[in-house]
């Protein structure tokens, strides 16, 4: 069974990550066959539409408009890649995956995206960690938990951010975290996932959990640096990042 850890709340003043602050748009993709091949480790962000994914990415990176939320959640199905680290020798990529579970999206589109997501999580070699965002007031859904089944064969670690925790009082936050932890443990055992799973409360508004999340992301990237990384030009494509859903 996966060992589900718990990241503690941040204390003031919050120390933001210079590495994440260096994030800049690199490329956007819409299918597995045109994803970039850089040799750099990737950390992907995923979650239901309106879970606060774009806001969390922007807050962690101290940038207002790095990740964009679509005006119509669930409509845009693009993957945005952001490079972090020195421009001539990036340390890794942050990957903003489209949101899922929005009711207004056609069933065929939902199915197509679920299949793509399953393939990405199971087969994407550079993926070294997944950040799953879920509204702390709503908890984890069946779609959220289904990601564990996709990830199990690849042994990719999972970290859950229970967003919008400022909307809960202390006791409500503790209950929400414990309920999610129990769900994850049960589902991880059922699908045979042995990779590390951790969880924390997060609030972009109150800056709760920013340090813990940033440190984990940095550690994932540091553990998977290429032995002899060649200089890489991450000059952005002419296209702007596609709008996300979160």
pLDDT, position 234? 60
pLDDT tens track for 61-102:
999 889 887 655 554 568 899 999 999 999 999 999 988 866
Q: Give the residue, 78 or 58, on which the prediction is more confident.
A: 58
| Helix or strand run (H / E) with residue 96 | strand 92-96
- Dihedral (CA of 54, 60, 61, 63) sign: positive
Q: Averaged over 193-216, what is the pLDDT?
A: 96
Bridge-based pairing state of the strands 158-163 and 127-135: parallel
183 CB neighbour count, 10 Å cutoff: 20
Q: Averaged over 25-30, what is the pLDDT?
A: 91
List C-alpha distances in Å: 216 to 7, 75, 213. Answer: 9, 31, 5
User: What six digits make up the tokens of 189?
Assistant: 């055992």
Residue 174: pLDDT above 70?
A: yes
SS (H, E, C) 12-30: CCCCCCHHHHCCEEEEEEC
If you write DSSP's letter for every residue of 169-225 in order, what string do you get? -HHHHHHHHHHHHHHHHHHHHHHT--S-EEEEE-BTTTTBTHHHHHHHHHHHHHHT-
- What does the alpha-carbon distance between residue 211 and residue 14 come to, in Å, rounded to a whole number? 7
Residue 168: pLDDT above 90?
A: yes
Identify whether the C-beta of residue 161 lies closer than 8 Å to the C-beta of residue 209: yes
DSSP state of 6: E
Q: Percentage of the chain with pLDDT > 70?
A: 80
Residue 8: pLDDT above 50?
A: no
Place of tokens 């005006």: 71
- What does the alpha-carbon distance between residue 220 and residue 242 come to, in Å, rounded to a whole number? 26
If you write DSSP's letter for every residue of 113-172 in order, what string do you get? HHHHHHHHHHH-TTEEEEEEEEETTT---HHHHHHHHHHGGGT--EEEEEE-GGGS-HHH
Predicted TM-score (pTM) of this structure: 0.86
């Amino acid at each position: 069974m996966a060992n589900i850890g718990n990241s503690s709340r941040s204390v003031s003043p919050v120390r933001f990550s210079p590495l994440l602050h260096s994030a800049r748009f690199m490329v956007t993709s819409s299918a597995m066959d045109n994803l970039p091949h850089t040799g750099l480790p990737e950390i992907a962000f995923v979650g239901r539409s309106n879970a606060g994914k774009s806001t969390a990415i922007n807050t962690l990176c101290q940038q207002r408009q790095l990740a964009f939320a679509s005006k119509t959640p669930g409509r845009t199905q693009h993957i945005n890649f952001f490079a972090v680290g020195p421009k001539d020798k990036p340390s890794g990529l942050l990957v903003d995956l489209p949101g899922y579970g929005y009711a207004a999206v056609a069933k065929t589109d939902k199915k197509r995206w679920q299949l793509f997501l399953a393939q990405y999580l199971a087969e994407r070699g550079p993926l070294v960690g997944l950040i799953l965002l879920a509204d702390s007031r709503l908890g984890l859904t069946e779609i959220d938990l289904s990601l564990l089944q996709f990830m199990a064969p690849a042994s990719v670690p999972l970290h859950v951010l229970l967003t919008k925790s400022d909307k809960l009082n202390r006791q409500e936050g503790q209950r929400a975290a414990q309920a999610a932890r129990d769900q994850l443990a049960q589902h991880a055992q059922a699908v045979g996932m042995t990779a590390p799973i951790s969880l924390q409360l997060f609030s972009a508004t109150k800056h709760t959990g920013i340090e813990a999340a940033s440190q984990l992301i940095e550690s994932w990237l540091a553990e998977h640096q290429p032995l002899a990384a060649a200089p890489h030009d991450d000059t952005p494509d002419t296209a702007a990042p596609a709008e996300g859903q979160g």
